[in-house]
Structure formats: C-alpha cells, structure tokens
Amino acid sequence: MDGRTLISGNSQQDVYFDKVALAPPCTTCPVLTASGSKSKGFQVGNLSWSPTIVGDTVNVYRNSVIVATVADNGAYTDNTGSKGNNASYIYQVCVVETGDCSNLVTVKFGSK
C-alpha cells in the first residue's frame, strides 16, 4: 500500500469531503445563569435567564427532567428537596412556545 485511498478500485491521491453548513447560533435562545444556596439545610438552585418574552412560558429542567413550567419572567428558584453536600444539578430552560432552549448550567453543592 502506498497510503492512497481506493475509490471504485482506483487509487486516489486526495480525499475530499463535502462542505456541511452548520446551523447559525440561536439568537433568541435564553442565556441561563445559576447559583446554589441552602434554605434550612435544603439545596436551592437560583436560576435567572434573558431574554424573556411576556406571555410565554418556560419549562425548567433539572438533570433532564422538567421540574416546573412557569411564566417566562427570567427567574426561578428550584427547591430541590435535598439536604447535604456533594450534589450536582444540571439546569436548562426551554421556551414552550418556540422550543428555544438555553445553555446548560451546573450547580454544585460540596466537593462533587
């Protein structure tokens, strides 16, 4: 073998790939930020996002599971119901009406 690629039984010097167009970045997707706190020992995720759309609703996801559907007002407090340390939650919000989803954000408690 001389290192060439065989195409239809013929040795080819160069290999070419079709150019694939990538989807443009989402300009209407919410940008999510989050922090963690504790309330009476329970872990709480404090979420905020923008932009918001008056009259729309968002699904709030924690670890890929919808935990709430709320008005698109740019903020949500997630009372996880869990106590202790060494927990980690991944959050995302998605606008119900458009399907536009935010970035993923991780909130960590303890050293996990």
CATH number of the domain residue 50 falls in: 2.60.40.10
| C-alpha span between 73 and 16 (Å, rounded) | 49
| C-alpha span between 16 and 44 (Å, rounded) | 52
pTM: 0.77
Q: Would residue 25 count as lying in a domain?
A: no
Q: What's the number of domains the chain is made of? A: 1
DSSP 52: -
Predicted local distance difference test score (pLDDT) of residue 27: 86
| C-alpha span between 69 and 85 (Å, rounded) | 27
Q: Give the bridge partners for 33, in sequence order.
A: 48
Q: Would residue 69 count as lying in a domain?
A: yes
Res. 25 pLDDT band, cuts 50 70 90: confident
Predicted local distance difference test score (pLDDT) of residue 110: 77
Residue 71's domain comprises 32-109
Predicted local distance difference test score (pLDDT) of residue 12: 56
